[in-house]
């Protein structure tokens, strides 16, 4: 595989609404992001995945776009955006735009046109279907945000498809003109000097709704190859597809360099491990750590050199991993560092979601009135009507809800954590006076500096990027693996639990690369690991 820049960097995700507010309206914005670029440069990241900043009525916080070539007014102007791209580039940070083209907002001019008449040239940009004989929806397809995926449009007498909210009508990728319009828009952004795209729910664009096929439809890869040729394939850009249904085999289809589709995928197999089989994310089950190891190791090994993976614990759709599978109480710092070391040492491009680098936590709510996210709200009301208890619903929301990761970034311990001088659109974590960036920067043993070290190690040690992966057999609570490149062999050892564990290996230790405890590791024989202890050692390579 020819080496690419996007394999060597660490990417940082900004959720702009919650990052930094510069004008006191309680909503993060682009000038706020510019202000914080030096902080990101200090962390050492090479790219920013920017959640949507386009004009949007905000039914789904920007994932419902009404104009792809305009900036949401709360976030600033196009001039601000151009400046952001330029300032980021000056710091060797590329800007990866979020490309949301499975659907638009129902306020996008294409949809306004489409719904105005069955004869509109834009009608076919979207997916319409007649009612069933009894007037009900064309079939049983469900929206990912609860309820039917079909919405009746009275004036034109047909249903339209929305796999997300009613205000997010699905685009019809079978329409060639629509596809061309999307490619033109992508080129508009490429010409601005961006570093690539994160492709929102891209596995859905090949859908065949009348056959009830949504993910991985038959023409999906044809569309991606066409898109590649028409847009980013002509440039040296990072493209990462959000692909919920990907297996390693499918991931190779997307990311094998010879296929000219995408650079890499976000696959979610590990993320689904605490949900009941065949049910929704809200239907909880305890995480089986053995299974987690098997799944992560499978992805490490099976992609081989035929594809590229991304590595992540967090994003704006997921609860904070430290609260989910780590320990956000007495072992907050140790478990945050352990999760970071475990992830960044694997093969793939690591992603850090804002606040992860300082160990921000979930914030539980007591009542649905405290929730903001449309997915959460729709689910709650639907399930309540279906007989679930309030208590069990709030419990699922506290564990899995998307607001957890969307609470504003805490920059310091001043009012509103230095995020805003106004009233934040969503309240900050109550622990912000302890967990904030200023505190993290001032404490050289903070989680931040573990992330910074990981980011820098990656730049200096090719084994971290290219080394082969080999899982070590251990107790379920210990996650350990080797990475090996030529003569260099690293051993990663982590304790994924609140209890001490014992690890044993006979390798000769050459040096400690990173450790979330003070001590340097000299011997691996019957080594007792403190709760959440994690270290990487270079060991003698006997082969």
Q: Which residues are catalytic?
A: 200, 242
* Residues 314-353 close enough to bind ligand NOJ by CB under 6 A: 316-317
CA–CA separation, 337 vs 356, rounded Å? 10
Closer Cβ to ligand NOJ, 22 or 56, answer by number: 56
Give Cα 349 to chain centroid, integer Å. Answer: 12
Q: Quick check: 164 binds ligand NOJ (CB under 6 A)?
A: yes
**Cβ neighbours of residue 343 under 8 Å, at least 6 residues apart?**
311, 312, 313, 350
Q: Which of residues 67-126 bind ligand NOJ (CB under 6 A)?
A: 100
Position with the least CB separation from ligand NOJ: 63
The answer to whether 201 contacts ligand NOJ (rule: CB under 6 A) is yes
Out of 29, 60, 106, 538, the only residue in the binding site for ligand NOJ (CB under 6 A) is 60
Alpha carbon distance 228, 253 (integer Å): 13
Q: In the numeric block, which tokens belong to residue 296?
A: 């992560």
Q: In this complex, which beta carbon is closest to ligand NOJ, that of residue 100 or of residue 534?
A: 100
Under the criterion CB under 6 A, does residue 264 sit at the interface with ligand NOJ? no
Plot region of 417 (φ>0 → left; ψ -120 to 50 → alpha; else → beta): left
Judged by CB under 6 A, does residue 521 bind ligand NOJ?
A: no
Per-residue binding letters, 428-467, with ligand NOJ (x by CB under 6 A): ----------------------------------------
Closest approach of ligand NOJ to the CB of residue 151, in Å: 16
Identify the three-state secondary structure at position 171. strand
200 scored as a contact of ligand NOJ (CB under 6 A): yes
CA distance 243 to 123: 27
* In the complex, minimum distance from the CB of residue 64 to ligand NOJ, in angstroms, rounded to a whole number: 7
Which residue, 242 or 538, has its beta carbon nearer to ligand NOJ?
Answer: 242
Q: What is the 3-state secondary structure (H, E, C) of 54-71?
A: EECCCCCCCCCCCEEEEE
Nearer to ligand NOJ, 64 or 328 (CB): 64
223 in contact with ligand NOJ (CB under 6 A): no
Closer by beta carbon to ligand NOJ, 35 or else 107: 107
Contact call for residues 162 and 138 (beta carbons, < 8 A): no
Q: What is the 3-state secondary structure (H, E, C) of 175-200?
A: CHHHHHHHHHHHHHHHCCCCCEEEEC
- Is 63 near ligand NOJ (CB under 6 A)? yes
Q: Are strands 158-161 and 196-199 parallel, antiparallel or unpaired?
A: unpaired
**Interacting residue ranges for ligand NOJ, rule: CB under 6 A:** 60, 63, 100, 164, 200-201, 242, 316-317
């Amino acid at each position: 595989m020819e080496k690419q820049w996007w394999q060597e960097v660490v990417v940082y995700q900004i959720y702009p609404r919650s990052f930094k507010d510069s004008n006191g309206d309680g909503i993060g914005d682009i000038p706020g992001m510019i202000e914080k670029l030096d902080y990101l440069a200090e962390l050492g990241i090479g790219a920013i995945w920017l959640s949507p900043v386009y004009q949007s009525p905000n039914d789904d916080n920007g994932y419902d776009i009404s104009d792809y070539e305009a900036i949401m007014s709360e976030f600033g102007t196009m001039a601000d955006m151009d400046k952001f791209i330029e300032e980021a580039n000056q710091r060797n940070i590329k800007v990866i735009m979020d490309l949301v083209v499975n659907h638009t907002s129902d306020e996008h001019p294409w949809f306004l046109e489409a719904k105005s008449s069955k004869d509109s040239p834009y009608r076919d940009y979207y997916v319409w279907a007649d009612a069933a004989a009894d007037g009900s929806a064309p079939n049983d397809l469900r929206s990912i945000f609860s309820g039917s995926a079909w919405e009746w449009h009275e004036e034109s007498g047909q249903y339209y498809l929305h796999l997300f909210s009613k205000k997010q009508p699905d685009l019809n990728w079978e329409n060639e003109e629509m596809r061309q319009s999307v490619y033109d828009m992508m080129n508009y952004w490429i010409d601005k000097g961006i570093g690539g795209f994160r492709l929102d729910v891209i596995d859905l664009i090949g859908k065949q709704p009348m056959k009830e096929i949504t993910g991985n439809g038959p023409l999906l890869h044809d569309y991606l190859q066409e898109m590649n040729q028409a847009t980013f394939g002509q440039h040296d850009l990072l493209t990462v597809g959000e692909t919920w249904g990907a297996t390693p085999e499918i991931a190779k289809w997307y990311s094998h360099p010879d296929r000219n589709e995408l650079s890499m995928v976000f696959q979610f197999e590990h993320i689904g491990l605490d949900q009941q089989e065949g049910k929704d994310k809200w239907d909880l089950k305890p995480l089986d750590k053995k299974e987690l190891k098997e799944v992560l190791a499978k992805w490490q090994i099976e992609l081989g050199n035929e594809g590229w993976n991304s590595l992540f614990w967090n994003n704006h759709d997921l609860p904070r991993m430290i609260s989910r599978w780590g320990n956000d109480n007495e072992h907050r710092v140790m478990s945050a560092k352990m999760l970071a070391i475990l992830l960044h040492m694997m093969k793939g491009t690591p992603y850090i979601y804002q606040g992860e680098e300082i160990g921000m936590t979930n914030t539980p709510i007591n009542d649905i009135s405290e929730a903001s996210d449309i997915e959460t709200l729709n689910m709650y009301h639907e399930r309540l009507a279906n007989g679930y208890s309030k208590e069990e619903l709030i419990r699922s929301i506290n564990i899995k809800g998307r607001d957890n990761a969307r609470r504003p970034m805490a920059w310091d311990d001043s009012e509103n954590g230095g995020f805003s001088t106004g009233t934040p659109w969503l309240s900050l974590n109550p622990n912000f006076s302890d967990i904030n960036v200023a505190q993290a920067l001032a404490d050289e043993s903070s989680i931040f500096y573990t992330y910074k070290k990981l980011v820098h190690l990656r730049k200096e040690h090719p084994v971290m990027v290219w080394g082969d992966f080999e899982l070590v057999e251990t107790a379920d609570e210990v996650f350990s693996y080797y990475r090996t490149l030529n003569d260099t062999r690293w051993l990663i050892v982590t304790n994924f639990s609140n209890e001490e564990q014992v690890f044993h290996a006979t390798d000769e230790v050459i040096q400690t690369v990173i450790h979330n405890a003070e001590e340097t590791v000299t011997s691996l024989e019957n080594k007792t690991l403190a709760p959440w202890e994690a270290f990487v050692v270079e060991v003698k390579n006997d082969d």
